[in-house]
Structure 1
Amino acid sequence: MLKISHVSRRFGNKLAVDDVTLEIPQGQMVGIIGRSGAGKSTLLRMINRLSDVSSGYIDYEGSRVSELKGQALRGWQRDCAMIFQQFNLVPRLDVITNVMLGRLNGRNPLLNLLQVFSADEQFAALKALERLDIAQTATQWAQTLSGGQQQRVAIARALMQGPRMILADEPIASLDPRNAQIVMDSLRDINAEGKITVITNLHTLDTARAYCERIIGMAAGKVVFDGTPDELTTDVARTIYGADGLKEAFSEALTSTSITPLTLKTSSAQPAP
């Protein structure tokens, strides 16, 4: 169980995340939606401890994550893998080495410096690439791959950490429709097969509804919705995106993924936009 209790993050006079309280059981696939600037990325970064909380606390299985330091913090960041929108690969290293970099946390620093990896680590990296259906790219430079392939390499690198949780920050925002679907299918399969908690920030309603069993909506740093896809009515979506942003969220969903758009249920006589 991941417990986020009254967590806020302040940047100067601005509250990027404002008094968020959530409980996420192990093995859930959760989509966090909202407009740009809603606080989605900041929340994920605090869970992973790339950013510290300004107030409140984060717990995982009895450990106070928000207060971890040193080796304990490195252990948490190994267990809680992060996938970024921009992949964060090393362009002039081959794919398999990029994947094996997922093992750096907890290894001998000298071996890391020399980029020395065992046969077992190489085999595990190939298995991870095979799972993402890109084992054939293992010896290519990362910079030669398409965006979708690079994101799958980033997911394989996260799997090399042996994580119990994967945080994905807008993982399909820069991908074409086909690759967006492949990446989301991969995250769903990882969640289902390994019972790994997946928490992913998504900008579009349809993608979240198609893939996530639980959806959290954020607006102005606050959680304004927490429920199932079926509970995400038009009125709720307006609360998350605003009247002008809702149309944008749907139009982006049509162009950013190849998923058949889902129709929001209305919760009042007011017609859907």
Structure 2
Amino acid sequence: MLKIENVTRRFGNTIAIDNVNLEIPQGQMVGIIGRSGAGKSTLLRMINRLIDPSEGSILFEGTDVAKLRGSHLRNWQRDCAMIFQQFNLVPRLDVLTNVLLGRLNHRSTIKSFLGIFSREERAMAIAALERLDIAKTALQRAGTLSGGQQQRVAIARALMQNPKVILADEPIASLDPRNAQVVMESLRDINEREGLTVVTNLHTLDTARHFCERIIGMQCGKIVFDGGPDDLTELAARRIYGADGMKDAFSEAITSTSISRGTPKPIPELEAILAAR
């Protein structure tokens, strides 16, 4: 269980996260949606401890990860893998080495410095690449791959950490519909086959409703919606996006995962609003 209790994050006089409380059971696939600036990325970065909360607790298996330091913090960041919109690969290194970098927190400092990886680790990396259907790129420079391929490399690297939780911060924001679909299907497959908790930030309603069993809606640093895809009514969507953001929430769907297997069931009230505009 991942529990967020009374968490607030301030940047000067600006409140980015405002007294958030949230419980995520092990094995859930959760999508966090909202407009830019709603606090989605800040929340994930606090969970991973890339930034610290100003107030509150972040608990995992009874440990307050907001208080971890040194090796204990590194162990948490190993167990809580982070996938970024910008991929965060090393472009000049080959794909296999980029994936192997996911093992750094499992190794001694000297071996990590020398870049010495075992036969077993290399086999694990190849298996992760095969699972994501990009093993043929193993010896290519990461910088030569398409955006969708690079994001799959980043997912393979995250799997090499052997994590308990995967956080994905806008993983498909810069991808075309086909690659966005592949990336989201990969995350859902990991969630279902490994039983890993997956929490992903998304801009679009259609993607969250199609791939996530639970949706969290944020606005101005607060949680304003928490429910299943079928609970995302017109009123709930208006709370998340505001009246002036409804059209953007749907127009983005054209460039997200709208080509997925079967089109997600529309929300009639929302479709009517767009048709009238």
- Does the alignment reach a TM-score above 0.5? yes
- The CA deviation at 1:261 is 4.9
Identity over the aligned pairs, expressed in percent?
70
Q: 1:170 aligned to 2:170?
A: yes
Alignment of 1:26-175 (within 5 A): 26-175=26-175
Q: 1:190 aligned to 2:193?
A: no
Q: Distance in 2 between matches of 1:181 and 1:142?
A: 21
Q: 1:263 aligned to 2:266?
A: yes
Residue matched to 2:273: 272
8 Å CA contact 1:9–1:16 kept in 2: the answer is: yes
Give the secondary structure class of the aligned counterpart of 1:105.
helix
Give the secondary structure class of the aligned counterpart of 1:83.
strand
- Corresponding pairs, count: 271
Q: Distance in 2 between matches of 1:155 and 1:184?
A: 11
8 Å CA contact 2:209–2:264 kept in 1: the answer is: no
8 Å CA contact 1:85–1:170 kept in 2: the answer is: yes
1:42-82 CA-partner distances (Å, limit 9, x unpaired): 00000000010000111001111110111111111000000
Q: Distance in 2 between matches of 1:265 and 1:104?
A: 49
Say if 1:265 and 1:6 are closer, same or farther in 2 by CA, change over 3 A. Answer: farther
1:72-104 CA-partner distances (Å, limit 9, x unpaired): 111110000000000000000000000000001
1:201-245 CA-partner distances (Å, limit 9, x unpaired): 000000000000000000000000000000000111011001111
Q: Distance in 1 between matches of 2:123 and 2:152?
A: 17
8 Å CA contact 1:85–1:171 kept in 2: the answer is: yes
Q: Distance in 1 between matches of 2:123 and 2:273?
A: 51
Structure 1 length-normalised TM: 0.97
Moved over 3 A (4+): 270-273
- The CA deviation at 1:110 is 1.6
8 Å CA contact 1:81–1:165 kept in 2: the answer is: yes
Give the secondary structure class of the aligned counterpart of 2:105.
coil
Q: Distance in 1 between matches of 2:244 and 2:265?
A: 19
Give the secondary structure class of the aligned counterpart of 1:272.
helix
Give the secondary structure class of the aligned counterpart of 2:163.
coil
Unaligned runs of 5+ in 1: none
AA in 1 matched with 2:101? L
Cα RMSD, aligned residues only: 1.3
- The CA deviation at 1:272 is 3.5
Structure 2 length-normalised TM: 0.95
